[in-house]
Structure formats: C-alpha cells, structure tokens
Structure 1
Amino acid sequence: MNSCGNDPIFEDGKGCGSFFEVKCSKPEACSDKPVVVHITDMNAEPIVTYHFDLSSLAFGTMAKEGMEEELRKANIINIQFRRVHCKYPADTKISFHVEKGSNPNYFVLLVKYVAGDGDIVEVDLKEKGSEEWKALKESWGAIWWLDTPKPLKGPFSIRLTTEFGVKLVADDIIPSDWKPNAFYKSDLWIN
C-alpha cells in the first residue's frame, strides 16, 4: 500500500516513511472505505495542493468490490486524507542501517521502522567510554550523517528524539566491528 506524495506530503524527504489514511466517495466506483498508505517517494507534478500518486493496489483497494479497474481508469479523483500513526507488526523493532560509503570519519545512518508519530527530529551518536553525544545531521528523510576529523570508535549508542520530545537510546547498538551496508536491529519500538 505505497504512495508517492507531492512536497507538502513528502516534505523534502522528511515525509518518507509516513503513513496516511486516504479515501474517496466519488466517482461511483469509490467504496468510501479508507486505505492506509505508506509514503515512499516524491511526486513533483503540480496537480493540486496535496497530491498522492497511489500504487495500483492502494488505488484498487478504495473501490467497491468488483469495481477496482473502473476506479483505476478514473485516474485523477478527489480524496479525503489524514496523517495516521505508523504501525508495524509487534515484533518489528527500530533498526539502523549503516549506509554504503560509511567509514570511521564519515558515518551515515538510516533509521528504519519507527512507528508512532514516525518523525525523528534528532539523532545522536555516543562512542563507547565517552559521555559526549555527537549530533548527526539530517541528509534527507530518515538518513542522518556525521563528518568528523577524529575517527569514530565503536561500539556506538544511538539516541533518537521524536517530534514530540520522546527520547530513545539504543545502547551499544552499532558494534566496534561495524561494517557499511549492514543492519543492526535494536530492542526499541514506539507504539
């Protein structure tokens, strides 16, 4: 149930990973039942103020039974939408992907599977044995980076701060022998 969104939805990448409930009541093929979609990309088409480019599955799911193709052929329709909390299965924990190209002086981190409000506004890293939290800078979406002249030494703890001020810490989540292009799953989750 994926969708692209225009800039007010995608927000220069900050909206990537967010969830919206969308529904339509016209044309006749619309069921008026909502579907929850996951924003995965940007659509720059200046069609209307808020624009969703729904996957075929999501588009068809809004239709009355047996009228999926008719609704898809309608192409552009008016919808109602609202932002909803991200929901992942209960066993899905926040995970961290060390991005390709990362090294001890340039560390890039993708934060995945953040449920709840889903909006991370700060990511900090702390090296083992240090009391200092180093702020990562947002690259785009859920990708954060740190450029440092002194090589970083793991293991690293990662602290996340949500839009509503909730702070979560994954202690020593990135091991001392970390590798680029590797996932590290935490025990953290937001409901």
Structure 2
Amino acid sequence: MYCDITLLLQNHIIYNMIDQLINIVGGACGFGEYGKTINDGNVAGVSRLWRNGSGCGACYQVRCKIAEYCDENGAYVVVTDYGEGDRTDFIMSPRGYSRLGHNAYASQVLFKYGVVDIEYKRVPCKYNGYNIMYKVHEHSNNPFYLAILILYVDGTYDVTSAEIWQEECKEWRALRRAYGAVFDTTNPPSGEIKLRFQVSGNAGIYWVQSKNAIPSDWKPGSAYDTEIQLT
C-alpha cells in the first residue's frame, strides 16, 4: 500500500548546507560520512517519518506521479537524516531523486520541477545478512563514556530502546537516546558489555539480546554484529 505525499528535491544550496551539518555533527541520525554513502547514495531526510530518531535507517520505495516521466518502480531510499520543507516529508539526495524518472531525460525534467507529488511505502531493508549491527561511536571514551550507533536493522523493524546489563545489580539499565540512532551512557560497566534492544515491527514490540558482548578493551569505531535473528 502506498501513501500520497509531496516530495522536495534537495537543490544544491540545501544539499550543501546538509553536507556541512553532517561534517560537523554527523547528521541528525549520527551516521556521518556513512549516511551519505549507504545504499549507493540513494538516501533521504524525513520529518513525519522521523519518529524521534527510530526512523533512522528505515527503507522506502518512493515513486512520483507524473506518468509521462516517472518510473513505475521509483526509487529505493534509506533514511539517514532529519529534514523538512514546505508541505514535504522526503528531502532526497540528487542521486536518489534521479531514480524517480524512467530514463535520463525524464529525470532531468523532474529535476526542473523540484517539487513533485509522490506515493511511498516502507519496504524491508536488506543489509548483507545483518539483522542488527552497531558500532561504538567515535566520541566514546573507555571507560568513562560509551555511545553506540545502530548501523543496520534488517527488514521493517525499528530499534526503539537499548539497555546495558549491570552485573553488580543483576539488572538491565536503560541507555539514553542521545539523538537519532545514537544511544549512550556515562560510566559504563567494566568488563564485557552486554546489550539488548527493544524492536518494533509486524510482530509487535519486544526485547532481543545481542549474542555478542562488547569486549572490555573496546575502542571507538569498532563495529559488532549482534547475530540477532529478527522474526
């Protein structure tokens, strides 16, 4: 099922401003440079689909509605940032926007429109076999501060919360959603770090625990596959 909405093309001025913002703070999702290259650069910023950051990494099929120029399959884009415009919900990268046309000429015509009516639907993300993968954010500082960035969530699932195991208390402690896809905590536990994630999808909302712990000598930038099988 597709939903109707209006789509705004990122013109060069808006794109350059967003590009500079990503260089400074990593974008609203926290993806940094990765957020500009994932899915071969077919990416978008969203507003109503943002969902306080849990919409980061979601995948959508977007197609425009001018039959003469628009491809029936449209574009497959990944949400990597927050962005809004006048009566719009998707702000697409030029590469993603160019996929809306059924040929090169049609795409050039659509570029001249700038703003077009679209319909869209959420589709499963497919990340080379990874169900949930995350990395230790570059701003982390062992052992004082730990931040994790959710890189991949397969299918049509969202990570809505994350918790860390507190061995001394024998309980799970909530991580703060710092922004976008970044969760953090001060004074993380010493030793191996166990994480679990709350996911929402067609099967409802439930918790899943990573099968791989973060080693005690963790370093910023290291990525980990949870080996969680989402159903």
TM range (shorter): 0.7 to 0.9
Q: For 1:14-29, list aligned pairs within 5 A.
A: 14-26=54-66, 28-29=68-69
The aligned length equals 185
Alpha carbons of 1:12 and 1:160: their partners in 2 closer, same or farther (altered >3 Å)?
Answer: closer
Structure 2 unmatched ranges of 5 or more: 1-41
Contact 1:173/1:185 (8 A) holds in 2:
no
Alpha carbons of 1:172 and 1:20: their partners in 2 closer, same or farther (altered >3 Å)?
Answer: closer
Aligned-pair RMSD on alpha carbons? 2.3
The Cα of 1:174 is off from its aligned counterpart by 0.2
Contact 1:156/1:171 (8 A) holds in 2:
no
The Cα of 1:63 is off from its aligned counterpart by 1.0
Structure 1 unmatched ranges of 5 or more: none
Identity of aligned residues (%): 26
Instruction: Report what 2:179 is aligned to.
Output: 140
Contact 2:193/2:215 (8 A) holds in 1:
yes
Contact 1:13/1:140 (8 A) holds in 2:
yes
Contact 2:212/2:224 (8 A) holds in 1:
no
The Cα of 1:114 is off from its aligned counterpart by 1.0
Alpha carbons of 1:27 and 1:71: their partners in 2 closer, same or farther (altered >3 Å)?
Answer: farther
Partners of 1:190 and 1:35 in 2: how far apart? 25
Instruction: Report what 1:3 is aligned to.
Output: 44
Partners of 1:130 and 1:156 in 2: how far apart? 14
1:131 matched to 2:176: no
Q: For 1:20-169, list aligned pairs within 5 A.
A: 20-26=60-66, 28-45=68-85, 47-48=86-87, 50-66=88-104, 67-90=106-129, 92-99=130-137, 100-127=139-166, 131-148=170-187, 152-163=189-200, 164-169=204-209
Describe the superposition over 1:63-116 as per-residue Cα deviations: whole angstroms up to 9, x where unpaired: 1224221222221100011222322222x3522211223332322111221112
Q: TM-score, normalised by structure 2?
A: 0.71
Write the letter of the residue equivalent to 2:196.
R
Partners of 1:124 and 1:12 in 2: how far apart? 17
Alpha carbons of 1:112 and 1:175: their partners in 2 closer, same or farther (altered >3 Å)?
Answer: same
Alpha carbons of 1:162 and 1:93: their partners in 2 closer, same or farther (altered >3 Å)?
Answer: closer
Contact 1:128/1:153 (8 A) holds in 2:
no
Describe the superposition over 1:108-140 as per-residue Cα deviations: whole angstroms up to 9, x where unpaired: 111221112331122111156863211111112
Contact 2:62/2:119 (8 A) holds in 1:
yes
The structure where helix makes up a greater share of residues is 2
